[in-house]
Structures are given as structure tokens and as C-alpha cells.
Amino acid sequence: MYQELIKYLRILKKQASRFERIDINNNVNESFSAKYLVKIVFIIISIVLVCLLKNGFSESFVSYVSSVLSILVGLFITALIFSFDKFYEPSNEENPNSRIKLWETQAHNYAKKFAYITSYTIVLSIFTLVILVASALFEKTTQLNVFNLTFCFECIKNKEIEALKTLGIAIFVIVQRFLVLYWLLKIMYNTLFIVSSMVQYMTTKIDRK
């Protein structure tokens, strides 16, 4: 089961990244900006925020973000369950014309795009909640100001327990803060995309009728 879970998560991530660059006509945007620009911007913002948040996340921030993410997960799961019936309705006509075939293709592509991106956003939200738990369980540790630490190469080289422990905590704290911030930016970006594209698609679908 564990191997299958890892496999499905990898497929989900790969397909979500792919469908971010595909429009409803199945045209793929292979440009550098489409592939990497958003990621690079989010990485830079996350690194800057990690440097600014020297003491990590406050208790109120963890509580607020956890509540928002929990609500989003519930909303997205509900939206995902009802999306296929709402977005993709095969034509009942025996000999559909080219326009109807185009609409069906667009509806099919958008349903897949919505499903993958929404599902991936749910997974990111769950992962963010999981690593935020560390801030609640180990509040003092995760609020460590790593900029006040002094790196002692000789201590690490001599494998001193206390030095290795401090180094491990510092690395964990930095990685945790970065991932939380990066994933939050990604979740916010995906949420804006999901909502705006859904409204646009449903409006277009209503106008066709």
C-alpha cells in the first residue's frame, strides 16, 4: 500500500504540473516562463521570508493557517466530488456536429485539469498541515533563531553530540519554514486559479446554452 501511495502521489504531482501548462484545447505551453517562472518567484519569496522570520511561526499564525487549510481541504474535496457531473456531460446526440465535439473535448480537458490541480492542492494542504504540527508540538525548538547560532566546523568534524544535534535542529527548522511558506504560496496560487477558471468555464458553458 505504501508503494502504491508513493506511486499515485508522484503521478498526481506530475500530471498537476503538466495540466498547469495545458489549456482546454489540449495545447501545451512549453515556454520557460510557463515551466519555471512561478516556481522561481515562489522560491525567492520563501527564502526572503525565511530570513525575515528569524523566530519562525507564531502560535496565532499556526492556528490561523491550520484552520484555513482545514476549511480549504473540505471545500476542495466537495468540489472534486461534484466536478465531473458539472463539468463534463457527454452529448446525447447521435451525430454531433464539429462544434459539439469541440465543446465535449474542451469539457473533458477542463474536467481533468480541474481534478488534477484540485487534488494536488488538497495533498499540498495536508502536507502543510502535517509539518505545521511540528510548530505546535515543539514550539520552542521550531522558534529557534538560527541566525544567532555559530557554526563550529571542528565540533562537527569531531562528531560532538551537542553540535550535531544543534545542526540537525537548525536544518530541520530552516527546511520546515521554507516548505510551509513555499507550499502556502503554491496553495494560494492554485486556489486563485481553480476559482477563477471554474467561474470562467461555468459562465462560458451557460452562454453556450
pLDDT per residue over 51-72, tens digit each? 888 888 888 888 889 899 999 9
Query: Which residues, including other chains, have CB under 8 Å from residue 31's CB and lie 6 or more apart?
Result: none
DSSP state for residue 56 in the 8-state scheme: -
Distance, in Å, from the CA atom of 101 to the CA atom of 103, rounded to the nearest integer, reads 5
Of 17, 58, 55, 53, the C-alpha closest to 36 is: 17
Cα separation, 41 vs 52, whole angstroms: 17
pLDDT at 157: 63
* Global confidence as pTM: 0.86
Q: How far apart are the first and last CA of the chain?
A: 45
Q: Pick out the chain residues at pLDDT < 50.
A: none
| pLDDT for the residue numbered 18 | 84
Q: Within 22-143, where are the H helices?
A: 32, 38-52, 59-87, 98-137, 139-142
Residue 55: CB partners within 8 Å, gap ≥ 6? Answer: 143, 144, 145
Q: What is the pLDDT of residue 203?
A: 76
Please return the burial class of 98, using the count of CB atoms within 10 Å of its CB with bins 0-12, 13-18 and 19+.
exposed
Query: What is the per-residue pLDDT for 44?
Result: 94
